[in-house]
Amino acid sequence: MTEPMDSPSASHFVTSAAVKRAASARAVGAVRVYGRGDTEVRALDGIDVDFAAGEFTAIMGASGSGKSTLLHCLAGLDRLTSGETYIGDVALSRLSDRHLTILRREKVGFIFQSLNLVPTLTALDNIVLPLTIAGRKPDMGRVDEIVQMTGLAGRLRHRPNELSGGQQQRVAAARALLSHPEIVFADEPTGNLDSRSGGELLGFLRHAVDDMGQTIVMVTHDVFAASHADRVIFVSDGRMASEMRSPTTHSLLGAVSGLAEASAERIPA
Ligand code: ADP
Ligand code: MG
């Protein structure tokens, strides 16, 4: 921590009685409305969900159900219309833009579907970039640990265009995990990868949870990807529809087809 968050006034913290177990992130009555009038879209419609520390949670749901909006609002990349999201016990709506930026830098990692690596920098420089920007020296022990885990050891001097898509996504994941953030959000991180590269990335994320106690929340439409999680939540029309613990591809296929049937019944042919 180089810079303090907002002054620690009581208003930034929920009472301990309200927290049943350590949650790294929470949404409470979260509403996000885009546009207005005829073009109004309620992307989040009062969703309540929490993400326990040290768990790997997957978020599934139809296209347009609000998954990315939920992730962006939890990560402090977008603001709610009403309700609240928390990282740890910090209520994001109460933070100024400046303090939100600091919170994202200090506490949040993000892995996007489209790789956002800097093409002119080596893999290593991309991994340590957030620290470089913050004017901090990377802990080389931690860099080694992450590099070993991602299997990128032989590729650190290469630029992104000399790496496969899977290697590039592992660089992006290493960058998100390097500072051991409170929570890592990933939006369809395997969406552009072939199945082998996707499997490697998922294995890395799973290791980070099991071996380093990392908290990860990942949006995916892929049951194989979601089967790596400890828990899957299903979002429908901006609300929590259901959830499943210890998912398998088999149990997820059943749940996904059940949800599809349920929503087909709601829409008259
Ligand atoms: P998902 O990630 O589940 O596919 P999104 O969260 O991206 O869904 O979108 C939820 C709904 O909100 C969709 O109807 C989408 O069109 C709408 N939406 C998302 N972002 C915006 C935006 N910036 N402006 C207007 N509508 C948006
Ligand atoms: Mg999305």
Average pLDDT over residues 37-59: 96
In this structure, the dihedral spanned by the alpha carbons of residues 175, 138, 2 and 174, taken in order and rounded to 10 degrees, is 10
- Predicted TM-score (pTM) of this structure: 0.88
Kindly report, residue by residue over 115-166, the tens digit of the pLDDT.
Answer: 789 999 999 999 999 888 888 898 999 999 999 888 899 999 999 999 998 9
- Could you give the CA distance from residue 244 to residue 234 in angstroms, rounded to a whole number? 8
**Strands 82-87 vs 23-34: parallel, antiparallel or unpaired:** antiparallel
pLDDT at 265: 67
The DSSP symbol for 155 reads G
Give the type of residue at 120.
T
Name the residue with the closest Cα to ligand 1, atom 6: 66
Q: Ligand 2 center to residue 122 CA distance, Å?
A: 29
Tell me, in angstroms, the distance from the centre of ligand 1 to residue 64's CA. 6
pLDDT at 257: 82
Is residue 84 helix, strand or coil?
strand
**222 three-state secondary structure:** coil
CATH number given to 55-64+95-266: 3.40.50.300
Q: Give residue 133's pLDDT.
A: 86
Average pLDDT over residues 4-9: 43
b/e string for 116-149 if b means 16 or more Cβ within 10 A? ebeeebbbbbbbbbbbeeeeeebeeeebebbbeb
Measure the CA–CA gap between 90 and 93, rounded to whole angstroms: 9
Q: How far apart are CA 51 and CA 23, in angstroms?
A: 5
Examine the pLDDT at 246 and tell me if it is beyond 60.
yes
φ and ψ of 89, to 5 deg: -105, 10
As a whole number, the mean pLDDT across the chain is: 89
User: Residue 178 region, left (φ>0) first, then alpha (ψ -120 to 50), else beta?
Assistant: alpha
Ligand 1 centre distance from Cα of residue 242 (Å): 20
Q: Which residues are CB-contacts of 264 (< 8 A; sequence separation ≥ 6)?
A: none
